[in-house]
Every structure is written in structure tokens, then in C-alpha cells.
Chains A and B, each alone.
Chain A
């Protein structure tokens, strides 16, 4: 793998990209630390969870359930349900990460969260030359470090930081998702898929109890998009083994761009 800029430059680029995630993680991590302390956990117990589980909402749920003396197995099962959506994210990133080894992927996926996925999916799809290797891992590590450090800080000195709402920090992540979502919407069909997913995600809790709404909404809306898209123009060519050639040629139609980007990524990796 050839990367053009110096190693330090690549890591700095990753840090810069992860700034909005850090802005969002710090207040939530602080809140988790405060809650964990109130829930009677030790500092070590609090921080190890941020280090090894690293999943915001399920950490909050775990502390609340722990305090309510719930069965550990029930807490673990709830965690599983809440985090099952990462299965989809991991699958969706797969075509863009063919150049890396399984070992690299095993480490990369350990720090895959909603927010880092959002950054990766947009930047990898855009296919910018600098978004690779160390930069990608720097995004993950900076986000994870912010989360873990904030958990500890919240535990030790939660009250000192006051309420994050005063500075609007609670809107950092929604705002980032707005920008990243708009970057993903490139054709009218993307917009339709986004609106369908949003509607399902809001409506499903009224029909199906539990925490299935995000997962089901994403699966269904992406499925509807795939059905409406029809075969991509590039697919016929790919089947004939001319994928690389069509990728070079730019593959024209907007619907073919994704595949072209993927094929381009793979041919660069070889």
C-alpha cells in the first residue's frame, strides 16, 4: 500500500476529520461517567466498559439495568439487540475495505460506531486518495480516546463541567449526521430512501416494541431502494469481466458510480 503523505500528516488528517465526533462524544461520555458513579460503579469498572464495550447507548442502559439489579444475561441480550445495527454498517463498508488484511479489519471493526461509520461511509465512497490506512484508524482511535477519557473525567469531576446543554454540545452529533446524510444523497432515489428510512424509524416503535426500529427501517428502506434502482448499468459489464475497464471509463450514469468507485478501489489495491 502506497500512501503519499508523511505518517504524522496522515494521523493529523484523521484527527481533523474526527473533531465533530469528539465534540459530540465528550459530553455524552461525561454524562455516562456521572451516571456510572451514581450507580455505584468503581472508576475502573466505568472506564473498562468504555474501553472494551465502547457503545454509548448500551453503556447507559447497562448502568441503569445494573442499578435496577437486572439479570446480567438480560443486560447482555439487550446490548446485543441495541448493537445489532452495526452488522449492517460492517457489511456496507466491506466493498470499500478489500485492500486491507483481515487482521487490520479485526482491529478496525472494534472501534466501529454509528458516528465513525457515518464518517467512513461518506469518505470511503468519495474515494479520496488520503482517506486510507492510518487516517482511517486515527479517526477511530481519536473518537474512542475521547469517549474513554470523557467517561473517566465525568466519573471524577462530573459536576465541574456543568450541563453540556448550555453550549449546545448535545446537538453536535445530530448536526454532523445532517451534513453526512446530505453528502450521501446524490440522486432522487437516495432522497426517497432517506425519507422512507426516517419515517419507518419514527413510526415502527408504535408497531413493534423494543429497539428494532433503526435496524428494520434501514434494511427495509435500502431494500426498497435496491428494488427501485433496477440493475445498475455497470453490472452487465462486470459480469462479463470488464469491470475494471468500465471503472476506468467512469461508467457514466449516476447509478453506476458506486460500483465504479468500488471497482476502482479494488483495482488500486491489487
Chain B
């Protein structure tokens, strides 16, 4: 392994691990002020939505909210499947994948 790559790897590993570990270690068994706890309780739903939206609506770096966007179309049956059986992630993933394959074939 080249030494430049080694240093790059080390730097990247540190700046990735830091944000992953610091809050969990620093907040360990600490009771936070109520407003902060309330804010944290909304973080999962907010961050999942913030991650999901671009993965559906941004194609090749551009916002595409038209019916030409197959990801957006495939999301419709996937949402329906998730509403019917939201515990079975595998089934929902499968419905999504099959929908996308069918859309690609017939549209």
C-alpha cells in the first residue's frame, strides 16, 4: 500500500469515526435537558426523510419531480406495501425492486 493512501485512509477513518462515536460516548447515561430530549426524539424521523427525499427525487444531480422519474413512480407501490405491512422490510424492499424493474421494462 502506498504511504499517501495509508495517511488518507487514516484521516478519513478518524473524521468518520469521530462524529459516529463522540455523541454516544459523551452523552452516555446522562439525562439531557427536556427541550434537548424533545428535539432528539424528532431527529430520526427528520433525518430519515432528509435522506430519503433526494434518493427518490434527485436523478443525476438534478431535481426531477415529473412522471419520467421512475424512482418516484416506484415509490408509490412501495409506500402502499409499507402501509399494508410496515414490519416486513424485506417484502417492502422486494415490492420496490420489482416495481422499478417493471417500470423500466414497460415505460
Contact = CB atoms under 8 A, between A and B. Distances in A.
Interface of A: 17, 19-20, 23-24, 41-42, 44-45, 48-49, 52-55, 58, 62, 66, 72-73, 75-77, 79-80, 83-95, 97-98, 102, 105-106, 108-110, 112, 114, 117-118, 121-122, 125, 165-185, 190, 193-202, 213-214, 217-219, 221-223, 225-226, 229, 231-232, 235, 238-239, 258-259, 262
A37 to B, nearest CB: 14
A53 B9 contact: yes
B37 A95 contact: yes
Given A53-B12, A79-B16, A165 B104 contact: yes
27 contacts: A23-B97, A52-B9, A53-B12, A75-B8, A80-B15, A80-B19, A83-B15, A83-B19, A93-B24, A105-B25, A109-B20, A110-B21, A168-B96, A171-B96, A179-B92, A182-B83, A182-B86, A193-B42, A194-B46, A196-B46, A217-B50, A218-B46, A222-B45, A225-B39, A225-B46, A226-B35, A258-B41
B40 to A, nearest CB: 5
A41 B47 CA distance: 33
B68 interface: no
A53 B17 CA distance: 8
A70 B81 CA distance: 44
Interface in B41-70: 41-58, 63
Contacts of B16: 53-55, 58, 79-80, 83, 86
A182 B16 CA distance: 28
Nearest to A174: B55
Contacts of B44: 89, 92, 117-118, 121-122, 125, 184
A117 B48 CA distance: 9
Interface of B: 1-2, 4-5, 7-9, 11-13, 15-17, 19-25, 27-29, 32, 34-35, 37-58, 63, 71, 74-75, 78-79, 81-83, 86-87, 89-90, 92-93, 95-101, 104
Given A114-B51, A171-B100, 4 more contacts: A49-B12, A198-B50, A225-B42, A258-B41
Contacts of A48: 1, 9
B48 A105 contact: no
B48 A184 contact: yes
Nearest to B52: A177
A168 B48 contact: no
B19 A235 contact: no
7 nearest A-B pairs in the assembled complex, by CB-CB distance = A175-B96, A168-B97, A198-B53, A225-B42, A91-B23, A222-B42, A80-B15
Given A92-B43, A226-B35, A86 B92 contact: no
Given A174-B71, A175-B78, A112 B20 contact: yes
Given A109-B17, A179-B92, A171 B43 contact: no
